[in-house]
Amino acid sequence: MTAFRYTAYTASGKRRRGTLVADTRAQATEQLRGKGLFATELETSTTAPRQSRPLLRRRATLSPDERTVFTRQLAVLLSAEVPVDVALDSVGNSGGAQRIETVAVTARAALREGESLSDALGRADAGFPPYYLAAIAAGESSGELARVVEELANHLETVSGDQSRILTALIYPAFVAAVSLLVCGILVTSAAPQIVAMFETTGRPLPAISVALLAAADWIKAYWLPCLVALTATVIGFRLALRHAGFRARRDATLLRLPVVGRLIRLSAALQYLQTLALVISSRQTALDAARSAARVLTQPRFRHEAEQVTTAIQRGESLSDALLHLSVIPPVCRQLISAGERSTRVGVMAERSSRLVDSWLENDRKRIAALLDPILMMVVGGFVLVVVLAILLPIFDLQSLVSGDL
């Protein structure tokens, strides 16, 4: 199978662009004719023009928004009982983002070679998280792929909406802070030197706050380049250090000890685990399979090790609720809900209810943090502006009093 990029026209003269998979160029042309399209350009990935090669060669990692769009398109088509390969073909020819089309075409080619959808999406190397592929695999094995993809789309849209609300809440204070810092910089670099020149003619000493501010401004002017180089080197060194497991473990341990950040990390891990657990169990998989899939979601080494202990405990014959005692991020109330689900044979429903409960806690914490960041940032910026204004106004008042005294 070869991927062909085409430019074609309909009978009414409308231009269409997209990608399709075929064995030969003639077969690709025949596919286009079957769709009522007349190709004017048809190029394989190996004969694509120079400007197109980077797009076809590089890894087509989807952004979170693109992943959401891809999943929603796939969910809509599958819910309409469209075959998987046809659904991927439709997504690949939808005229949307280039990376979405590339992923859809790559996955469809793998699907036609006999691979499952989960393996095909994994081969596309689009950055799908482990829980995503695990849920797809569970949906395929249970025969409820359409429902699973629909739930994945709902989940991704919820996460995307939460992140958008947080970013929107921070836009205004960030804009005010940037403008305030710009104005302060102009005052320090333009107004302050003129005041210094006036004071030098009078022989009077500058106020201490003005001396400190001018000294800081002079230091920044003299050493801004070394500071920029040092900051860049620090960022690069930190990113390189993150490649080592030991450094990542120390970083994670430090973050978990922080009061607010640590709670957010724990709740996020619990939410990911419980959502995957509920999704896989609702796909008619066993608790053991669900625990294995959920363990692959966690990125923190400590939490993943605890999740593997949950899997081992279930293999020993423990119930899911008892095994979850090994995972420290799961709140006790969630274990109680899952235990009640085990007694009533509604484990999937109770796991889903537990995930919604944790999600509500996480959302409330995010709202509180966003609500606190606004006034805190305004206070910090306001304090800095106050220092700059005082450093400029105090010398002016001093000069005014000197002139009034002379009169």
Range of the domain at 43: 2-57
How many beta carbons lie within 10 A of that of residue 50, not counting itself?
Answer: 6
Q: Which helix (DSSP H) or strand (DSSP E) does residue 217 occupy?
A: helix 208-241
Q: What is the pTM of this model?
A: 0.66
Separation of CA 136 from chain center: 20
Is 372 part of any domain? no
Residues 165, 171, 172, 173, CA torsion sign = positive
Based on the fold, state whether residues 22 and 40 are members of the same structural domain: yes
Determine the Cα–Cα distance for residues 402 and 407; give it in Å rounded to an integer: 9
pLDDT by residue for the chain (407 residues), tens only, comes to 566 777 776 666 566 667 766 777 777 777 777 777 777 777 774 433 333 334 344 456 788 888 888 999 999 998 888 888 888 888 887 767 788 888 888 888 888 877 888 888 888 877 787 678 877 877 787 677 888 888 888 878 877 776 677 677 677 777 877 887 788 777 777 777 777 777 767 667 778 888 888 888 788 888 889 999 999 999 999 999 988 888 888 888 888 888 888 898 899 889 888 988 887 787 777 888 888 888 887 878 889 899 999 999 999 999 999 999 999 999 999 999 999 998 888 888 898 899 889 988 988 888 888 778 778 888 888 888 888 888 878 877 877 776 665 54
The SS3 of residue 319 is: coil
CATH code: domain of residue 83: 1.20.81.30
Domain boundary among 11, 33, 57: 57
How many beta carbons lie within 10 A of that of residue 405, not counting itself?
Answer: 7
Q: What angle do CA 303, 306, 308 make, to 5 degrees?
A: 110
Is 125 part of any domain? yes
Is 297 part of any domain? yes
